Copies of this chain bind each other. A is one copy, B any other.
Amino acid sequence: MSAFDDLLAFQRQTEALSSVAERLGWDQETVMPRGAVEQRSEEMAAMESVLHERRTDPRIGEWLDQAQAEDDEDQRILDLIARDFHRAARIPARLAMELARQTSLAQGIWADARANEAPQDFLPTLNDILMLKREEAAALADGGDLYDALLDDYEPGTTQAEIAALFDAMRPRLVALREDVLGAEYQPQALKGDFPQETQLRLARACATAYGYDWTRGRMDIAVHPFSSGRWQDSRITTRVVETDPFNCIYSTIHEVGHSSYELGIDSDYAFTPLGRGVSMGAHESQSRIYENQIGRGRAFSGWLYQRMSDAFDGLSVPDADAFYATVNRVTPGYIRTEADEVQYNLHIMLRFDLERDLIAGRLDTDDLVEAWNTRFLKDFGVAVDRPANGVLQDVHWSVGLFGYFPTYALGNVYAGCLHAALRAAVPDLDRFLAAGDAGPAVEWLRENMQRHGGLYPPRELIERATGADVSELPLLDYLEEKFGAIYRL
């Protein structure tokens, strides 16, 4: 066995163990008895300990020194392993353990503080985590920018300067579009009615099938916060049901099908290697967004959905497929990121991006975070935050140490805009299929041009290879203006 083979055999087992750890997380959120919380936390900690030991195993350094790549694919595998190894090696074991311990505790403290509308109960904990993350960032940055070092975990190769420039370019057109839309004379109706759980789930399954979700390699369960989990031969989705709002279930499902499809679409030869997973959070989100928004909330697919829902619920409160299309794309003022429409979503991200950059840079103290959030929200959205659960306490991310994660959602939207433009050019009659409830040709194009490559290319290169053009915010902005201009009759 060569050093390369030894390294890959070792990595293969690490990948398998990491997949097991992820499966435990799925189990916890879907089927685990509620009395098993402490036990599961000890099981997860044991898995993390094994994984940490493997990721920092000094033999990896020796194999990397000796391994020879025979082609670009092998070289990329070596680069990805080296990247993870050097990142892991830079973080002292004490810090890694302390971060794992604190973030595990903080999640519960955050949830209680949110339920009690009591940010003061959470902010000291958040400060502890922030200090640990700054320490981690300093260890990783090695003299460079702290925020960039964290961002690199989620969107390798991207910098905050690039993202700031992108967001600066997006903001004026998004703000103007929102103003026009909210001030328009025509306002779409909300959907009214009562929508039984079983029917919603049946429809959600039909939607997943419409996108070619492979039920022999996946399944759907209910979770409080929908997520997708797993890869290769087993990527599962979850959804939730709100009996007054069927779109919650349906579009959550389609979103998660996007994530799972990406994992299931990766070349099976890459399984158990670092190429065998989505290359970045932004790339991942591009798939969930294009499935959910550009395709799922488009006129053609929503027309099919209108018919299916009318049949399933024995009539709907909106009169026809055009009105329904407007309804699924309705823009309303709101506090919550996860409930935001396509027009306003990225503005929610920009707020978080700026605040977390200030926190990491030490320009903002957690003591001043509530005020900073509320001031900024009023400025950006023209509405005062009414209560902490609708403001700074709404997202779990910071409590679990996810600083640098938020901008990847907006990057995903930008990538989705680029991919959608290229997809439409490549498959001009796509709407004909979508109108019949068949997203197959869209999925096939995405699979062929993007998903199958897994981790082979860095994120930006991946999108540029797929689209044949530079990554740019323009396709997304053009799409939004055209779509919402038409819906709101601007």
Contacts and interface: CB of A to CB of B under 8 A. Distances in A.
B232 A34 contact: no
B13 A46 contact: yes
Given A33-B215, A234-B33, A43 B27 contact: no
A242 B290 CA distance: 45
Interface in A129-164: none
Contacts of A338: none
Contacts of A219: 31, 33
Contacts of A47: 17, 20
A376 interface: no
A227 to B, nearest CB: 16
A33 to B, nearest CB: 5
A45 B16 contact: yes
Interface string A23-43: 110010001111111111011
Contacts of A31: 31, 219
Contact of A271 (B19, B39, B49): B39
A481 interface: no
Contact of A23 (B24, B35, B217, B233): B24
Given A27-B27, A217-B35, A272 B234 contact: no
A47 B24 CA distance: 13
Given A34-B216, A46-B13, A23 B27 contact: yes
Interface residues of A, number: 38
A22 to B, nearest CB: 10
A50 interface: yes
Contact of A35 (B32, B40, B216): B216
Number of copies: 2
A31 to B, nearest CB: 7
Contacts of A236: 33
Interface of A: 12-13, 16-17, 19-20, 23-24, 27, 31-40, 42-43, 45-47, 49-50, 214-219, 232-234, 236, 271-272
A46 B272 CA distance: 11
A217 B49 contact: no
Interface SS majority for chain A: helix
27 contacts: A16-B43, A16-B45, A16-B46, A17-B43, A17-B47, A19-B39, A20-B20, A20-B43, A20-B46, A20-B47, A23-B27, A23-B43, A31-B31, A31-B219, A32-B234, A33-B215, A33-B216, A33-B219, A33-B236, A35-B214, A35-B216, A35-B217, A39-B232, A39-B234, A40-B233, A40-B234, A50-B50
A147 to B, nearest CB: 35
Nearest to A46: B16
B214 A17 contact: no
Contacts of A17: 43, 46-47, 50
Contacts of A45: 16
A13 to B, nearest CB: 5
A233 B39 contact: yes
Given A217-B36, A219-B31, A232-B39, A20 B24 contact: yes
Contacts of A13: 46, 49
A27 B33 CA distance: 14
Contacts of A218: 33
Nearest to A14: B46
A9 to B, nearest CB: 11
Most buried by B among A13, A34, A36, A272: A36
A130 to B, nearest CB: 30
A263 to B, nearest CB: 12
A461 B34 CA distance: 35
A88 to B, nearest CB: 18
A12 B38 CA distance: 14
A451 B194 CA distance: 49
Most buried by B among A16, A232, A271, A272: A16
A40 B272 CA distance: 12
A45 B20 CA distance: 11
Contact of A33 (B16, B37, B42, B217): B217
A454 to B, nearest CB: 15
Nearest to A16: B46
Contacts of A232: 36, 39
